[in-house]
Structure 1
Amino acid sequence: MLPVNHHNIFKTCRSVIFKKFCTKVVENVVKGTVCDINVTKTLGQPAPHTHPHLIGEDEVTPLIKKYEYQCRRQKLVDAILEHSKKLNLPFQNHMIIIPSTSKQYMSDKIPYVFRQNTEFLYLSGCQEPDTCLVITAGGNTSDHKTTLFTRDKDNHAEIWDGPRTHPEEAIGFFGVDNSLPMSDLSKFLNSWRKSLSNIHLWYDFDNAPHTEIHKIVCEYLKDSSNNSFESPRNFIHGLRLYKSPAEIALMQRSCDIASKAFVESMGFSRPGIGENQLFAKMDFECRIRGAEYLAYPPVVAGGNRATIIHYINNNQLVYGNELVLMDAGCEYHGYASDITRTWPVNGKFTEPQREMYEIVLEVQKELIELCGKTPSLDALFECMCLLLGKRLQSLGLINVQPANNYLMKAAYQLCPHHVSHYLGMDVHDTPSIGRNIKIKPGMIITVEPGIYISEKSSLPKQYHGIGIRIEDDVLITVNGPVVLSRKCPKEIDEIEKIVCEGLSNK
């Protein structure tokens, strides 16, 4: 189902595009003619003519073409109209408003790294702040129009912050029906309201990413005699849950980058190393391979700190025969990876560490096999508790009891988190979709069992302070699960070899 090597295909495609681009430029310079590729106009985000190493012909973002974004918007309209028809809602006209994120500032005039609202990015491909997508639709699924509101022209601001995509470029590049400056948003909403009656507004009031746009929408609703509104979030998440071939390729690349970064971080380990140093190593190795940044603040937990599920202080040293648990992933052109590995910084598992690690690894492998056969993520979690309980019981660490409920409850005390979540543009992707729905082909999920034995545990003392989690990213296909993070080593022999070789080279 997947190409043998997405990375090589990606590189080959980009190199061919770049060569064609350069050839075209040279030919026109020699002829003394103007090149039909606009080499002077820079948009507010990468485009084929300015970033041929990233963006291919007719792509809006890497690997994702204009047509795919148009199809996503069409599917959203179809889903909303079908929902309205099924419930027999008395609305003939619909308006869907999806805002971008606004810039956030850490101090005066110093912004944080910008990250786009993923709902907006999924439907538009626009990576710029302070923009907005408005989709207007009638009762017919083909009768809808998309208007993209872009930042107003501001020569002074562009000197400081870089170029913007203006309405005249946005229509062709993003494949929308119309484009207007943001200053026209309020006027547009009001004119649409005045020209049509019986309008149902689709806007997520509970998760508003842009304060100014939120004010405009609230004013529109306050002035409207028809106060009917609903959030489109569930419908968007329902679409995002199933990944297209382009999305799968991007997520495979994200996993490949993170996997290699894990290998380099393992080899960089040594007794006495700082958790912050491993954090920095992981970050560097991901970015140097093309990731924009880490997908979330990583857990880099040495020793008994690994028993703290969301430990992100990463400010201690890892000594002697301690394990380090690292939960990290990267974001690659809008798509995340999420991997966890646990390894000894001295290159050798102790016997208690090995026993616990083998239990988690065996359970994880069984759970991955069950992905296509288990009805839901919640059911997969129940399987994890039962499998962990049985293995801990076989070691004599849980009392012998015939009831499965007892084993599951005992295991849950040692692994108090869910075993899986959806993965995609966000790490905890599509959160409005419950974990009780059927697992289907096209979904990408994590599988992450763990064991965390605190210093206060009633288990034998030699196990105290051991925290182990093994997490992989898994694509569900009709032919079974495909582990996208398969290049990240997790067998004990592999891990010990990588760390020991790193130590010998220091």
Structure 2
Amino acid sequence: MLRIMKYITRISVNKLGMQLIARCSTKVSQSTVIHQAQKKYNLCTFGQPTPITHPHLLKEGELVPGINLEEFRSRRNKLVQRILSHMHIGNKLNRTQIIIIPSASKVYMSEKIPYVFRQNTDFLYFTGCQEADCALIITISKENFTSTLFVQKKDEHSELWDGPRTGAEAAPSLFGVDQALPLSEFEKFFISLINENKSCVLWYDEKNPVQPELHKQLCQLGKICNVHAFVSPKAIFHEIRLIKSQAEIKLMQKSCDIASRAIVKTIEISKPGVDEHQLFANVDYECRMNGAEFLAYPPVVAGGKNANIIHYITNNQIVQDGDMVLMDAGCEYHGYSSDITRTWPVNGTFSPEQRVLYDIVLEVQKILIQRLKDMPTLDQLFHEMCILLGRRLQQINLIPNNFSEDKLLAAAYSYCPHHVSHYLGMDVHDTGKIPRSVKVKPGMIITVEPGIYVNQKNKFATSEFYGLGVRIEDDVLIRNEGPLILTRKCPKEIDDIEELAKSTRP
């Protein structure tokens, strides 16, 4: 380890840089630290907003909007403790643990024309860094750990085209890490680190690379340094991310509020003859105008029978009088996603068949949300949805009454061929390594989204219901005192939906 520290000191860490790191660890205000870093390194701005450059977005002490610097330190501490706990079980506690978390890279739609950059959420969660082509290495030796952030070098030409970079000198003060180096020094650092710790455990998710060049480099370096295998830390990352902090819950609530308002406005402007694309454009506009950076995913805007296509995102058909619109949309607000589905009659009045299906879905959803008080698993929630839907569909003769429970479940699944819930957070389908077979706990945020889709190929369906599709989806915070619907500002009662859909009628 001594050799590594000498190497770090030689190439990048100067006395003032270390002083700034130390100050950032004390009660000195973040603004003071940032001001001094700007003066020392001649920076007008960093590679991302700060409370000084964007006071309308960040408050004093926040590294990203809504989340302060100390929370990121706490997250890294929690990660180290989880890794140590995991190694204790495997009797590998005496070996050095090296965790490598890469950022995302820019992706280009054509030469020199990038897609909108979206950070790797695992990297963002543990660093707060919003820049592309970076990496975090956490080195754990016994119970001590060092965080090293690799960032892009300051470069006038690149910054002229792509905007400012924070650079290695100022990164420790901004991100609260122990030290920072240019990404170009990653290879030398990694080799020194491995040579110093021959029997280390390397934590890196090699099966889902997010930074192609760094991944290629790591695989090559692994062979050079005789690294036989990487251990994926993904499941541990997601265990930590699964339970939301109060700061995260506030951001999620805001994301849900924005998307709820946008969907309400979109229901209000819909009318027979509207293009699905226009509804898409409206929900996108309303979300952005109220603070969201962009939509959380390509929305489903399905008029009429298109609602039978679960992931319909073509959104280019005219919605006819008498059709319903199924809209599945959400936004991303400062890194946190919402996910809402509402279904409404474009002419403002549900037909009898539309109304009965909608009423079934709404009733089932309300029962399932209340069921969350008992802290079930998401799979148990899905099983209960199938039972409830099946019994109600029997009552309206869309499933035969003489079915056994197994046949009833299968028949219900033919009407709703998707799960009823998933975890929600920084990603829409959040913490994917967490199975749906674990019981929900306070601090989790999930969706509850039953649906009925009547495809004419369904052998149980009758013709008057052909082509109808209904889904109702809300985002729900699990609490000890009972579930809290974060999307409660988006109406779903039949009378409220019809009133909204009629609001622009003469």
Give the TM-score normalised by the residue count of structure 1. Answer: 0.91
Partner Cα separation in structure 2 for residue 69 and residue 37 of structure 1: 20
- 4+ long deviations beyond 6 Å: none
Matched residue, 1:280: 281
2:500 is matched with 498
Structure 2 distance, partners of 1:396, 1:228, is 57
Question: In the alignment, does 2:94 pair up with 1:82?
Answer: no
Unmatched segments (≥5 aa) in structure 2:
1-30
In 1, Cα distance between equivalents of 2:227 and 2:217: 16
1:112 aligns with 2:109: no
Q: Counterparts of 1:5-404 in structure 2 under 5 Å?
A: 41-89=44-92, 92-140=95-143, 143-401=144-402, 403-404=404-405
Contact map agreement 2:336 2:426 (CA 8 A) in 1 = yes
Q: C-alpha displacement at 1:373, in angstroms?
A: 1.2
Contact 1:72 1:123 in 2 (8 A): yes
8 Å contact 1:204–1:230 — kept in the other structure? yes
Amino acid in the other structure paired with 1:208: P
Amino acid at match of 1:356: L
Deviations for 1:409-443, whole angstroms, at most 9, x for unmatched residues? 21111001000000000000011110000111110
1:486 to 2:471 alignment: no
CA displacement at 1:394 relative to structure 2:
1.7
> How far apart, CA to CA, are the structure 1 residues paired with 2:95 and 2:141?
6
- Give the Å deviation of 1:147: 0.6
Q: Write the distance in 2 (CA, Å) between the matches of 1:253 and 1:328.
A: 15
1:6 is aligned to: none
Aligned CA RMSD, in angstroms, stands at 1.6
SS across alignment from 2:483: strand
**Counterparts of 1:288 and 1:347 in 2: how far apart (Å)?**
26
Residue type of the partner of 2:78?
K
The answer as to 2:482 corresponding to 1:472 is no
1:41, CA displacement in angstroms? Answer: 2.2
Question: How far apart, CA to CA, are the structure 2 residues paired with 1:343 and 1:67?
Answer: 44
Please give the alpha-carbon distance, in whole angstroms, between the structure 2 residues aligned to 1:67 and 1:278: 41
Residue type of the alignment partner of 2:136 = L
Deviations 1:434-484 (A, max 9, x none): 000011111000000000001233422111100000000000001010000
Shift in Å, 1:52: 0.6
Residue 414 in 1 paired to residue 411 in 2? no
Q: Take 1:340 and 1:250, find their aligned partners in 2: how far apart are those partners?
A: 20
Q: Tell me which residue corresponds to 1:439.
A: 440
**Residue type of the alignment partner of 1:173:** L
In 1, Cα distance between equivalents of 2:36 and 2:159: 25
Q: CA deviation at 1:283?
A: 0.3
Secondary structure at the aligned position of 1:73 is classed as: helix
Deviations 1:389-425 (A, max 9, x none): 1111122322112633232221111001000000000
Mapped partners of 1:349, 1:225: distance in 2: 67
The residue aligned with 1:462 is 464
The residue matched to 1:42 in structure 2 has which SS? coil
Question: Bigger CA drift: 63-72 or 85-94?
Answer: 85-94
Q: Which stretch has the larger CA shift, 289-298 or 224-233?
A: 224-233
How many angstroms apart in 1 are the aligned matches of 2:162 and 2:366?
48
Identity of aligned residues (%): 55
CA distance in 2, matches of 1:226, 1:114: 32
CA shift digits 1:95-124 (9 cap, x unpaired):
111001110111111100000000100110
The two structures have a TM-score, normalised by structure 2, of: 0.91
CA distance in 1, matches of 2:204, 2:500: 50
Preserved CA contact (<8 Å) 1:303 1:322: yes
Matched-pair contact (CA < 8 Å) for 1:364–1:470 = yes
Residue identity in the other structure for 1:206: K
Shift in Å at residue 57 of structure 1? 1.2
Shift of 1:171: 0.5
Letter in 1 for 2:233: P
What is the match of residue 425 of structure 1?
Answer: 426
- Residue pair 1:199, 1:228 contacting (<8 A) in 2 also: no
